[in-house]
Structures are given as C-alpha cells and as structure tokens.
Structure 1
Amino acid sequence: MKRCFAVVFVATMLAFLLGGCSTLDSLNPFASNSPKMAELKPIQPTADARVVWRESVGKSDLYAFAPAVVGTSVYAASKGGDLMRIDDGKLAWKINAGLPLSGGVGANENLVVVGSPKGDLLAFSSADGKLLWQAKATSEILAPPALGEGIVVVRSGDNRLAAYDVLDGNRKWIFQRPTPALSLRVTAGPVIAGKYVFAGFPGGKLIAVSTANGAPLWDGTVALPKGSTELDRVADITSAPVIAGRAICSVAFQGRVACFDLGNGNLVWAREMSSAVGLAIDSGNLYVTDDKGSVHALDMASGASIWKQDKLSLRRVTAPLPRRGMVVVADAQGVVHFLSREDGSFVARMATDGTPVIAPLQALGNDFVVQTSGGGVYAIEAR
C-alpha cells in the first residue's frame, strides 16, 4: 500500500524531508512494522567524559540547527528565533531574530548568519548580536551558511547556491543545476576552501564552484542513480564534504563514499556505502556513519575497512567526530557515544536531555559541542 509522508527518517531523525510518496514503510518510524532501534547494552568505560558547560537555546523541532564555533565562542539558534553567543561557557548575549528560523548557524569573527523557512537571510554582529543586514534567498534555508573569502554562501531548499557580500548582503552570484524529479531536502551547508565552494547535489554529484563568480570548476561523481523507480534512483549527497590536505571526500545516500583531488576533481578512490548523515577525517582515517547506524573507519589512502561498530543499529546516529583518540557520535535519544579510534569499541557513554541529536557535532578545541532538538547546548570533553 502506498503511503505519502513528508518527513523521512533515513539514518538521522528528521534530518531531511522527502518530497513525494514512498512505498517503503521501513523508512517511516511511525509505521507499525518499522524496525526498532538497537537497545544499548552496558559497557565498561575506559575513558572519562564530562559536561564542561551547558546552556539552553530553545527547541529545534524538525530543523537541524548546528552550533557554530569561532575560537572559544559558540553560537546557537532555535526555531523560535533565539540566537545566542556563549564564551567559555558564559552567556555573552542572547537576542531574538524576530521571525522563525530554520537554518544555521554560520559565523566568523565579525558576523553571525542564520536563515528562515521563507528564505530570509539575517546577518548579526558577532560582538553584540545587532542586526547588520538582511537578504532574501530563493527558497527556505535549511543549512548553515558558509563564510569566507568576503562572501556568505547559502544553500537554499531548491538546491541553489547563492553568495552574498559580507558587508552589505548584496547578492554577488547564484549557481543552480538541474535536479531529478525526486530528491531529499538537505540540511548540510556548503564548504568554502580558498577559491572553491564545495557542495553535494541530488543525483550524487559533488560540485566545486568559484568563490569569485559561482562558475563551475569541476564536478565529481559520488553516486550514480540506479533502479527502476524514482525512489530507487534517489542518490543524493545530503551531508557536507570533508577536506584533508589535497583530498576532498563525500558520501551519498544509496551511493558511495568517494575521495577526489581537491584541485581538479580526479577520483582517488570510491567504495559502495550509503549515508545520509556524513563523514569525518583525522590524520589517517575516514569515518562514516551509514544509513543503518553503523560507524565505519576506513583507510584514508585506499578506502579499505579498518573497523565497523554495528551496535547502534537504527538509532539514527549522527556523523562521526574524531576527538582525543576517540570517535564521537550521538543518537535519537540524546545519548553521546565514544568509540575507540583503534578498534571502534565503546569507551564511554553520556546522556544529554533525552531529545534527538540531529545536527552534526562541532569541534571546540580538543572538546566538542552538541545541540539537541530540545534546545540543550552542551560542551563535552572526554579523556
């Protein structure tokens, strides 16, 4: 029996929406026959984890608000329009944007940028939260804006990239490409690296465009759509790419994980893997959370498997974050899991407020920041 449902949970709870009908009840967590998430078994901790500080910013609901970190300052936003700056655990300022928010946060030393469901792009002073300028995107803003090279780059819900001047918000360029009939709504923002802006698109393409004018520079194939139905052929990149040295890597839902040469887009290696939440890199490994909730460690040079942790099945696990010899993920019950970098075994576990962690964890020095959908903002360290 066909079921239409707007909200699709694929590895991350409410991380993106599918614009259409699905015949797969297994994708719907409210379906009576949907698979159940794995129960957590007791572990013997070998690392110490603690909350360094905690704040509350307001609920995210369906949106994936990722906090932004600039030095020791953390910026966080909520659906209700609240925006705050936290310095070393102390609230520096808190304002309300005056309208609901859906995408954020992007920040640098001078600017904090968020977006709304109606495509409003709002830029505030990092120093005191004063509104500096406001611009309009072509549709809803679900992803954190990227700042660099004198521009703010925004990915809108219609899969367009647009660049705005950091000083006044005037639009400098826009990039768009054809999209398939069915695609996933993406909460991952673009990445700016020097003269490049990188973003993944429906159809499994990783695109590099120029920061100067938005002209396409190269594209790499992370996945090739395949199958007999439109749903089967969904092979979208829904997470941000990661960069290490001369390599940039990306992963697609119902596709592959692939690494490319940063300068020319030549494929270095690829292997089959499906993920909707993303990946991370450290000095020698690439880490991926797949769409069943398993966390993989791969050799950065070749893509060969090093280990796999599959005891978090269907817990809607976030993208991994390497920290202090560990790999950290969080899940739909707000639990933070610490895995050994060497073999993927559990070394620590910590509960937050019990609400889902949807947005990616963010590095804060040697520690990291977690924002829950219930509005909790936690700085956590583990040793």
Structure 2
Amino acid sequence: MMAGVKRGACIAWAATIAVASLVACSADKPKPAPLPTIESPIAGRQVWEARVGGVNFPLAVAVLNGRFHLAGDDGTVVALDVATGRELWRGEVGAKLSAGVGSDGRYAAVVTRANELVVLDGGNVVWRQKLESPVVTAPLVAGERVFVLGVDRVVNAFDVLDGRRLWTLKRPGDALTLSQAGMLAPYKDTLLVGQGSRLVGLDPLKGTVRWDTALTTPRGTNEVERLADLVGPPSRTGSVFCMRSFQNAVGCIDAERGSLKWVQNTGGIEPVGGNEEYVFSADSSDRISARKRASGELAWSTEVLLNRGLSAPAALGTAVVFGDLDGQLHFLSQAEGKPVLRLPTDGSRVAAAPVISDNTLLIVTRKGGVFAFRPE
C-alpha cells in the first residue's frame, strides 16, 4: 500500500513497455465526519440547472467567452451560457470519453476511450486523430493548436483546423505513471506541461524545451511510493502557478522565470485552488489547509470535513468551496476555515473541479447533474 494514500483506497497497476496506470478502488472506508453546524451563514442560491450523461472520467470544464464547455461519459459535448444555463450547442462524438473538455471558445476537444482525439466546432465534429497512448488529461486548445498530454507523458501538438500533427515531444521518464489528469496549461507564449514531478516550459510552435523545474523530489522505497506526477488543473495568479505533486507536496512555480517559489510536503491527490492571497488544498484524509500564496506559510487548517471525499477547491468571494462524495457543497471562510454555507446538488459525488465565471460557480456530479450557484 502506498504510504499516505487516501484511507480506504487500494492500489492496482498494470505495466506496459511505456506506461503503467494507477487507479484507486474502494475498500473499507473510514466514516465521514458529521456535517458541522453553521453558526454564521452567508447567503447563496442555485440559479440554474442542466444535465449531461453520467461523468466517470476526469472531466475538466472549460470556461471562456461566457460559456461553460463540458461533456458526459457517452460522448455528448455541450456549451452552456454562463448567465442563464441556456444550451448554445450540443455535439455527439459517438464514443465514450476518457478526457475533456478543452476549448478556445470556438473549438472543443475531447479524447475517447479508444484513444481518438476529436475536435468539434459549434457542436459539429470537424476531425478525428488516432493517438498512440491513453489520455486522461483534457486537451488544451490555444493558438490554433490542440495540445495533448498522454498518460505516458508524451506531448503532441495538432493543427486545430485540419488535425495535422505538428510535433511530438518524448522525454525519458519512469515506467510507472499516474492515470489521473495531469498538468497542461498556457502561459503567454509558453506551454506548461507536467513531466512527472517537474514542470516544463515548452515552445508551443516547435515543441522544444525552454525551462525545466522540479516542484519536488519523489520519495519512497519503490516505484509506486515515488509517484509524484503533477496534478491539474493548477491555480494561477499572474505568472505564478500553484499545483499538487501527487501524494508528495504542494507548491508554486513562477512561469515567467521557470523558478520554484516554494514547496511544502503534504499528502493528497486532488488539485489545489486559490486566489491572490491563499492556496487551498485537502490532504488524503480531507484535512483542509490554507497556505499563504507568497510564501507557502500555513495560515490555517481544519478537520471539519474529514473523510468526506472532497473535490478540488474553488475560491469564490470570501469563501473557499469544496464538493463532497454526497454532492454537498461546503463553503468555508477563507480567513479562518469555518463553515459558512452548505448547498446540495443531486446526492452524487462532485465529478470535476468547481469552476467560476462572472461570479457563477459551476458544479458537475457523477450522475451528470450540472448546477450553477451564486452568492448573495
């Protein structure tokens, strides 16, 4: 058993020549902490609701130009208006998905379980491209290109108009890799890619390396314990990207210089969230911490939501929001970590990192429920 893995999880892996997949399966789970009493509540409400097929893959919700782009297991891809939830378009890929959605506001990209990259324009499939390895990280669509990070850490770039492969980057790495959404993000004219525990800045036109910075040094006595892949999506403020190294650490890297700002050792598997002041995260037991973004110094921690299967967090107004295994949304004070609001969804686990646009918080659940909330 990997040291520090979420209690109640068992680990299985299957090695191939290039890649191994690590997945967690349920076993005897510790009892979730009882829901706390909220003494000084704030106001918030659900403003609209929609639905996609069930979501049992690492969904990323793309937000751009007042639109949420999301997808369901069955290959349905939709664009929804942020303000009203009105469906702007709906497309059908025709196959079950393993990763998505990436979008530049016009084109949307997903990957099927058959390792096929599919790009849509306004709900219409415009091209498909077969990939050499499985993908669980949502493609990135930017600069008239589609960037794809495989579980083997190979990066491919395609022309968004016709699907032509532009370049491929393969770097030496460990045989065992993490089957969980990794780090793939843009910064100005640099493509940021997670390669194990390292963040790499690439030239997006050529696929060449500009800088390479380790967030942490993997620890452990075997390959499983040394897994320390960067987990996405990151939390960005300006040029600083903060992220988690799987079961190892939380830290921040300045993408302008490719330099490490700070790192703190801590367990956990979900992405971090934050704002200009704090970086929020939950560890393997769902102990929540807030660290000062500038230094990594601990501001507060709380065990009020232990073992509740927390999602990645999102900072909204004066609160930080986590979803849980029952679809409950927990709003905690950013300053102290005290619960200030609780809102329900459909009773199923929150399936994607919460996203925010124009003060609207979007939550997607395993059952395919899509819920938009706003503070009052």
1:54 paired with 2:38, answer no
1:145 paired with 2:133, answer no
1:182 paired with 2:176, answer yes
Residue of structure 1 in register with 2:203 after alignment: 210
The one-letter amino acid paired with 1:54 is E
1:249 paired with 2:258, answer no
1:333 paired with 2:329, answer no
Shift of 1:30: 3.3
Single out whichever of 72-81 and 247-256 deviates more from structure 2: 247-256
Report the TM-score, using the length of structure 1 for normalisation: 0.88
Q: What's the CA shift string for 1:147-202, capped at 9, x where partnerless? A: 21221111122222211112111111122223323332122451011221112232
Q: Structure 2: how far apart are the matches of 1:92 and 1:47? A: 32
Q: Structure 1: how far apart are the matches of 2:193 and 2:7? A: 19
**Count of aligned residue pairs for this structure pair:** 366
Residue of structure 1 in register with 2:358 after alignment: 365
The one-letter amino acid paired with 1:41 is P
Structure 2 CA distance for partners of 1:17 and 1:221, relative to 1, 3 Å: same
Structure 2 CA distance for partners of 1:311 and 1:205, relative to 1, 3 Å: same
The one-letter amino acid paired with 1:99 is A
Q: Structure 2: how far apart are the matches of 1:340 and 1:74? A: 26
Residue of structure 2 in register with 1:6 after alignment: none
Structure 2 CA distance for partners of 1:73 and 1:201, relative to 1, 3 Å: same
Q: Is the 8 A contact 1:199 1:240 kept in 2?
A: no
Shift of 1:18: 5.2
Structure 2 CA distance for partners of 1:217 and 1:188, relative to 1, 3 Å: same
Q: Secondary structure at the match of 1:359?
A: coil
1:293 paired with 2:286, answer yes
Q: Structure 2: how far apart are the matches of 1:118 and 1:189? A: 22
Q: Structure 1: how far apart are the matches of 2:260 and 2:67? A: 37
Structure 2 CA distance for partners of 1:10 and 1:368, relative to 1, 3 Å: farther
Q: What's the CA shift string for 1:356-377, capped at 9, x where partnerless? A: 1131111121121111111001
Residue of structure 2 in register with 1:24 after alignment: none
Give the alignment of 1:35-114 within 5 angstroms. 35-44=30-39, 46-61=41-56, 63-87=57-81, 88-114=84-110
Q: Structure 2: how far apart are the matches of 1:60 and 1:321? A: 20
Q: Structure 2: how far apart are the matches of 1:154 and 1:46? A: 43
Structure 2 CA distance for partners of 1:311 and 1:223, relative to 1, 3 Å: same
1:229 paired with 2:225, answer no
Q: Is the 8 A contact 2:187 2:239 kept in 1?
A: no
Residue of structure 2 in register with 1:167 after alignment: 161
Q: Secondary structure at the match of 1:19?
A: strand
Q: Structure 2: how far apart are the matches of 1:240 and 1:12? A: 23
Report the TM-score, using the length of structure 2 for normalisation: 0.90
Q: Is the 8 A contact 1:18 1:184 kept in 2?
A: no
Q: Is the 8 A contact 1:334 1:351 kept in 2?
A: yes
Residue of structure 1 in register with 2:117 after alignment: 121
1:201 paired with 2:201, answer no
Structure 2 CA distance for partners of 1:151 and 1:331, relative to 1, 3 Å: same
The one-letter amino acid paired with 2:35 is L
Shift of 1:246: 3.0
Residue of structure 1 in register with 2:212 after alignment: 219
Shift of 1:343: 0.7
Q: Is the 8 A contact 1:121 1:135 kept in 2?
A: yes
Single out whichever of 283-292 and 332-341 deviates more from structure 2: 283-292
Q: Secondary structure at the match of 1:278?
A: coil
Residue of structure 1 in register with 2:20 after alignment: none
Q: Structure 1: how far apart are the matches of 2:249 and 2:51? A: 37
Q: Structure 2: how far apart are the matches of 1:160 and 1:17? A: 24
Unaligned runs of 5+ in 1: 4-8, 22-26
Single out whichever of 85-94 and 101-110 deviates more from structure 2: 85-94
Moved over 6 A (4+): none
Unaligned runs of 5+ in 2: 16-22
Q: Secondary structure at the match of 2:63?
A: strand
The one-letter amino acid paired with 2:58 is A
Shift of 1:290: 2.0
Single out whichever of 151-160 and 367-376 deviates more from structure 2: 151-160
Q: Structure 2: how far apart are the matches of 1:17 and 1:120? A: 27
Q: What's the CA shift string for 1:275-317, capped at 9, x where partnerless? A: 3211123122222222221221111111111111221222221
Residue of structure 1 in register with 2:273 after alignment: 280
Percent identity, aligned pairs only, is: 28
Q: Structure 1: how far apart are the matches of 2:213 and 2:118? A: 32
The one-letter amino acid paired with 1:303 is G
Structure 2 CA distance for partners of 1:66 and 1:348, relative to 1, 3 Å: same
> Pairwise CA RMSD of aligned residues?
2.5
Q: Structure 1: how far apart are the matches of 2:141 and 2:245? A: 24
The one-letter amino acid paired with 2:257 is N
Structure 2 CA distance for partners of 1:67 and 1:262, relative to 1, 3 Å: closer
